[in-house]
Chain A
Amino acid sequence: MVPIPRKIRVLIAKPGLDGHDRGAKVVARALRDAGMEVIYTGLRQMPEDIVEAAIQEDVDAIGLSSLSGAHMTLFPEVVRLLKKRGSGEIVVVGGGIIPADDIPKLKRAGIKAVFGPGTPLGEIVSFFKKAGKGA
């Protein structure tokens, strides 16, 4: 019997109040096409909601997208809440419009990778693949 590899599950969420999620949807589809299961939670999610969903869905990784500049508070808050709930092993990555200066700060706060606009989809996909394997 051929062993079936464990499915990689990813939550894609869009914290904050800004209104469109085209980028998040493109990433979600690319991950699906790479064989992953993507739970898409839609717009305007609070960090608490995202963490709760990630635990119930038992995902390997969370992709957060922000276009509004709220990433400096919202992204680290997700990492903090995950740790608090004992689910610190879930990999958190960010994307969207994020100034270069903020990237090292986000990484120090536990965001494992930051993908700006124009990042090749293949790069994002292989990052999530690795994140899934490591879990």
Chain B
Amino acid sequence: MRDLVAALLQGDKRAAGKLISLIEDDEPEAVDALQRIYPHTGRAHVVGFTGPPGVGKSSLINRLVRTFRARGKTIGVVAVDPTSPYTGGAVLGDRIRMADTGIDPGVFIRSMATRGHAGGLALATFDAVRVLDAMGSQVVFVETVGAGQSEVEIATRAHTVVVVEMPLTGDVVQTMKAGILEIGDVYVVNKVDLGNADVLVANLKFQLAAREGWTPPIVRTAALEGQGIEELADVLERHAIFLERSGFRHGREVARARQEILETAQRLLVRGVSEGSPTGPLFDRLANAVADRETDPHAAARKLLESHPKKKRPR
């Protein structure tokens, strides 16, 4: 096989596409490839978008891609849609809204299915972001599945989190999902062309407080008409500069690394004790011992952690 990583570092999109698939399919080559890619990452500004289904995340990203291209930036997008829990299949439709970018050599868009990963993202999402970062994308947008707990995960992984809301029509009290007011660095009220935005904006303004020297701006947009997009792009650039100058970018990187190390260790452990692995038999023995009251679950867990499988696969 051609050296995909070398090609990626030359900016080869085909290599990027193939590498992301290897990562998604959890192929053995992926670990090695990611190890080689890692030193070339850390340059891109990673911007996560979250918000309820249909609020306009893809449409906004589409507009922003064009705006940032006009400002001379190369762009990557990873857009996540849910996998059907029943069939394992997915229809990935975010690309429909991003058709404008077409064959622009400075844009790379990848659709991704969650493949059973909870949290509004796929397990492979941020490794895919790294692939695009290493390829040279200067800004990478991540679109989460706008439901469930997507906020939590995107908040620890992106540099800038954009929460997208839209005004509801009629006589309703618009309440925010729990946690949504804590995680946004930028709030977008989209679909202002439909009216009724003032209440939502006022409501947000009232509830949002400055955190660590940054007051989350609220930007009104109409993605289809392109209204408010320049302002949103300005705000994103300002936040990137703020993160850099304040040292928070590094802080976020460390927080992210912490979480990633823990998650990976957890996954390795789960794999290590699963059937067919060297630790499998020990796991079985311990399970029987716990059932027979020869030991307790806590002590058994410690034993399991202490046991080092002879031949470890770094997966």
Interface on A for B, CB 8 Å cutoff? 1, 4, 6-7, 9, 28-29, 31-42, 44-46, 48-49, 52-53, 55-58, 85-87
Interchain CB contact under 8 A, B102 and A55: no
Q: Does B84 contact A (CB under 8 A)?
A: yes
Of all chain A residues, which has the CB nearest B102?
A: A49
| Interfacial chain A residues near B18, Cβ < 8 Å | 58
Interchain CB contact under 8 A, B89 and A39: no
| Interfacial chain A residues near B110, Cβ < 8 Å | 56-57
Interchain CB contact under 8 A, A40 and B14: no
Beyond A7-B115, A38-B92, A41-B95, 10 additional contacts (C-beta under 8 Å) are A4-B25, A9-B21, A31-B89, A32-B91, A37-B89, A37-B92, A40-B92, A53-B95, A53-B109, A87-B14
Of all chain B residues, which has the CB nearest A36?
A: B89
Task: Given A58-B20, A86-B14, verify A1-B271 contact (CB < 8 Å).
Answer: yes
A29 CA to B93 CA in the complex, in Å?
12
A9 CA to B21 CA in the complex, in Å?
10
| Interfacial chain A residues near B274, Cβ < 8 Å | 1
Least distance between A50 CB and chain B CB atoms (Å): 10
A36 CA to B92 CA in the complex, in Å?
11
A58 CA to B112 CA in the complex, in Å?
11
Interchain CB contact under 8 A, A40 and B93: yes
Task: Given A32-B89, A57-B17, verify A52-B103 contact (CB < 8 Å).
Answer: yes
Chain B contacts with A in 1-43, Cβ cutoff 8 A: 13-14, 16-18, 20-21, 24-27
Q: Does B149 contact A (CB under 8 A)?
A: no
How many chain B residues sit at the interface, stated as a range, is 35 or more
Least distance between A53 CB and chain B CB atoms (Å): 7
* 13 A-B pairs with C-beta separation under 8 A: A1-B275, A1-B276, A7-B24, A32-B84, A32-B87, A32-B90, A34-B87, A36-B89, A37-B113, A40-B96, A41-B96, A49-B102, A55-B17
| Interfacial chain B residues near A53, Cβ < 8 Å | 95, 109
Task: Given A57-B111, A58-B18, A87-B14, verify A52-B89 contact (CB < 8 Å).
Answer: no
Q: Does B277 contact A (CB under 8 A)?
A: yes
Interchain CB contact under 8 A, B96 and A42: yes
Main secondary structure of the interface of B (DSSP, over half): mixed
A33 CA to B92 CA in the complex, in Å?
13
Q: Which 3 A-B pairs give the minimum distances between C-beta atoms?
A: A32-B89, A58-B17, A42-B96
Least distance between A85 CB and chain B CB atoms (Å): 7
Interchain CB contact under 8 A, B95 and A40: yes
Q: Does B202 contact A (CB under 8 A)?
A: no
A5 CA to B271 CA in the complex, in Å?
17
Interchain CB contact under 8 A, B14 and A55: yes
Least distance between B156 CB and chain A CB atoms (Å): 26
Of B20, B103, B111, B277, which one neighbours A48 at CB under 8 angstroms? B103
Least distance between B155 CB and chain A CB atoms (Å): 26
Least distance between A38 CB and chain B CB atoms (Å): 5
Least distance between A90 CB and chain B CB atoms (Å): 11
Q: Does B108 contact A (CB under 8 A)?
A: yes
A41 CA to B87 CA in the complex, in Å?
21
Least distance between A5 CB and chain B CB atoms (Å): 9
Q: Does B99 contact A (CB under 8 A)?
A: yes
Of A32, A35, A49, which one neighbours B103 at CB under 8 angstroms? A49
Q: Does B251 contact A (CB under 8 A)?
A: no
Task: Given A1-B276, A56-B17, A85-B14, verify A46-B89 contact (CB < 8 Å).
Answer: no
| Interfacial chain B residues near A37, Cβ < 8 Å | 83, 89-90, 92, 111, 113
Least distance between A88 CB and chain B CB atoms (Å): 12
Q: Does B88 contact A (CB under 8 A)?
A: yes
A46 CA to B151 CA in the complex, in Å?
36
| Interfacial chain B residues near A38, Cβ < 8 Å | 89-92
Which residue, B88, B93, B110, B115, has most C-beta atoms of chain A within 10 A?
A: B88
Of all chain B residues, which has the CB nearest A52?
A: B103
| Interfacial chain A residues near B277, Cβ < 8 Å | 1
